[in-house]
Every structure is written in C-alpha cells, then in structure tokens.
C-alpha cells in the first residue's frame, strides 16, 4: 500500500506515520527526517538544505525529488510506504506520479489531516523527539509512559527541532498555504483524496485513518 499523509506542519503526519510503521509494517518516508539526517552528516545536499530549513522555506524540488526517487527504489519499500511531508508542491506531485508509473506502482490514498492554525502552533511548540530512535512526543499531548524515558527504546535523551520556534513556524505555515495546499486539488481530481479530522485525539485520528485505508 502506498499512502500520502498530507497536512500542514504539526498536523500529526509523523505521529501517524510512525504508528502505521509499527502496526502495519509500512515504511515511513519523511523527507524532513531525511533532510535533517543530511544536515547532521554535513553532506553537500545537507549544506544546501540547511539555510532553507532554518528559514522555514521549502528546499528545492530537485533535491527532495532526488531523495525520494532513490529511497523508493530500495528493497524495504517493496511492501509499501507512507509518504510524510512529500509531495509539498505540484511539481513534486507530478514527479511522484512519474516515478510510480515507472515502477508499476499505484498510489492508494492521500489522507488530508485538517487542523486549525492555533492548534498547529501549540503542537509544534510542545513537540520533541527521542534523540536515539526519533519517536515523537509532546509536552502535554503525548508524554512517555515513564517520565523522561522513551517508550520505544528506553533512551533518556530527547531533542527539539531548531525550526520549531514561533517565527519559523509562521513562515512554514505561509509556505504551506502558498505552495503545498495547491497540491490538494491535484489529488482530488484523481479521486484519491480523503480527509480525516486532525483536531481529534491521536487515537481517534488513528481510527479515522485506518477506516480510510480499509475502504
Ligand atoms: P507533523 O509530522 O505533521 O509535523 P507531528 O506528528 O510531529 O506533526 O505532531 C506534532 C506534535 O503534535 C507532536 O508533538 C505530536 O505528539 C502532537 N500530536 C500529533 N497528533 C496529535 C493530535 N491528534 N492531538 C494532539 N497532539 C498531537
Ligand atoms: P513539518 O511537517 O513539521 O513541517 P518536516 O520535517 O516535514 O516538518 O519539514 C521540515 C523542513 O524540511 C521544511 O520546513 C522544509 O524546509 C524541508 N522539507 C521537508 N520536506 C520537504 C519537501 N517535500 N519539499 C521541500 N522542502 C521540504
Ligand atoms: Zn527512543
């Protein structure tokens, strides 16, 4: 199964993609995570992406399309994958179509997670992740079962993203409405666009997504 989780920054894409990976064995492909790894490793691509990410702007289509093209050709993607944070422009959506066609693959669903801007800002302000396994948490909405200990791997080290600050979030939301939201009609026309209530609790959103994928 090939699924796109679609929505603004902080909508809950990563949270639900990690869950689907745990529960259904679909691979989570997060372009944000891949870009952050490239930045951390100081690769040429990372250097190009870093300034854009810190400013809350989109990284160039060429870079992210190249990353996804290489990644979906790998063996672990054979049983299906979840795209989290890609495509973010119509050009990326068109490129994805081409790649899937080349490989004889079909997109099953694009799941739009709708969340109000105010809630997005709160979610991003409280977001942190495990430094070791990248599991996602929130200061109030999703705490580890044992305070300060990652549920998934037991690590006691956590991190916050440098771009999860109020100023950059405003820019990221602007980019979302200007460049990414226009991808929605593209998929609506193809008849693959589905919606879930991203304002609901994490468990309720999970149920709605599972219902969409089972349909
Ligand atoms: P995205 O990948 O879309 O940017 P995340 O999955 O990282 O978003 O979620 C942003 C923050 O909001 C995280 O801290 C996460 O724990 C929290 N979160 C995710 N889904 C919900 C939800 N349905 N209700 C409340 N908080 C949520
Ligand atoms: P969020 O879902 O919280 O906005 P991501 O981790 O998906 O965050 O993305 C973080 C940053 O990485 C974006 O602000 C952008 O600079 C860059 N990025 C991630 N995915 C893409 C993409 N598909 N196209 C362009 N830039 C991207
Ligand atoms: Zn962990």
pLDDT tens for 161-183 read 999 999 999 999 999 999 999 99
- Tell me if 28 sits within 8 A of 214, measured CB to CB: no
Residues with C-beta less than 6 Å from any ligand 2 atom: 9-10, 13, 31-32, 35, 52-53, 56-59, 64, 85-86, 88, 92, 172
| Residue 15, ligand 1, Cβ within 6 A | yes
What is the Å distance from ligand 1's center to 86 Cα?
17
Residues 133-161: tens digit of each pLDDT: 999 999 999 999 999 999 999 999 999 99
Q: Which of 123, 134, 205 is the pocket-test mutation for ligand 1 (most atoms within 8 Å of CB)?
A: 123
Q: How far is CA 189 from the centre of its chain?
A: 22
120 Cβ contact partners less than 8 Å away, ≥ 6 residues apart: 8, 9, 10, 11, 169, 173
Q: What is the pLDDT of residue 79?
A: 85
| Residue 127, helix vs strand vs coil | strand
Per DSSP, what are the bridge partners of residue 29?
A: 83
Q: What is the pLDDT of residue 51?
A: 96
Dist CA 180 CA 195 (whole Å): 16
| Residue 205, ligand 1, Cβ within 6 A | yes
- Tell me if 65 sits within 8 A of 32, measured CB to CB: no
Is 67 buried (19+), middle (13-18) or exposed (0-12) by CB count in 10 A?
buried
pLDDT at 57 over 90: yes
Average pLDDT for 184-208: 98
Read off the DSSP letter of residue 43: -
Question: Is 127 among the residues known to form the active site?
Answer: yes
Q: What ligand is nearest to the CA atom of residue 202?
A: 1
Dist CA 48 CA 146 (whole Å): 39
Residues 68-125: tens digit of each pLDDT: 999 999 999 988 999 999 999 999 999 999 999 999 999 999 999 999 999 999 999 9
Q: What is the pLDDT of residue 44?
A: 93
Packing angle of the helix pair 202-214, 13-24 (nearest 10 deg): 60
Dist CA 184 CA 6 (whole Å): 9
Nearest CA to ligand 1 atom 13: 127
Nearest CA to ligand 1 atom 26: 141
Assign residue 214 a region (left: φ > 0; alpha: ψ between -120 and 50; beta: otherwise): alpha
| Residue 123, ligand 1, Cβ within 6 A | yes
Residue 169, φ and ψ in degrees, nearest 5: -60, -40
Residue 96, φ and ψ in degrees, nearest 5: -60, -45
Q: Residue 113: name the closest of 187, 11, 208, 15 by CA.
A: 11
Residues 11-50: tens digit of each pLDDT: 999 999 999 999 998 999 999 999 999 999 999 999 999 9
Question: Is 172 among the residues known to form the active site?
Answer: yes
Q: Which of 31, 40, 87 is the pocket-test mutation for ligand 2 (most atoms within 8 Å of CB)?
A: 31
């Amino acid at each position: 199964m090939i699924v796109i989780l679609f929505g603004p920054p902080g909508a809950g894409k990563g949270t639900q993609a990690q869950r689907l990976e745990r529960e259904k064995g679909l691979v989570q492909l997060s372009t944000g995570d891949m870009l952050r790894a490239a930045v951390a490793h100081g690769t040429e691509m990372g250097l190009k992406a870093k300034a854009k990410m810190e400013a809350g702007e989109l990284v160039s289509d060429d870079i992210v399309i190249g990353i996804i093209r290489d990644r979906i050709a790998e063996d672990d993607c054979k049983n299906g994958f979840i795209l989290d944070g890609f495509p973010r422009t119509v050009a990326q959506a068109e490129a994805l179509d081409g790649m899937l066609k080349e490989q004889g693959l079909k997109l099953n669903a694009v799941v739009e997670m709708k969340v109000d801007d105010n809630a997005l800002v709160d979610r991003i302000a409280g977001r942190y992740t495990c430094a070791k396994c990248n599991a996602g948490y929130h200061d109030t909405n999703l705490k580890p079962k044992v305070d300060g200990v990652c549920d998934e791997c037991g690590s006691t080290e956590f991190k916050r993203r440098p771009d999860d600050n109020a100023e950059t979030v405003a820019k990221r939301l602007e980019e979302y409405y200007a460049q990414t939201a226009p991808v929605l009609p593209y998929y609506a026309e193809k008849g693959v666009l589905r919606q879930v209530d991203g304002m609901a609790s994490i468990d309720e959103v999970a149920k709605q997504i599972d219902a969409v994928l089972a349909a």
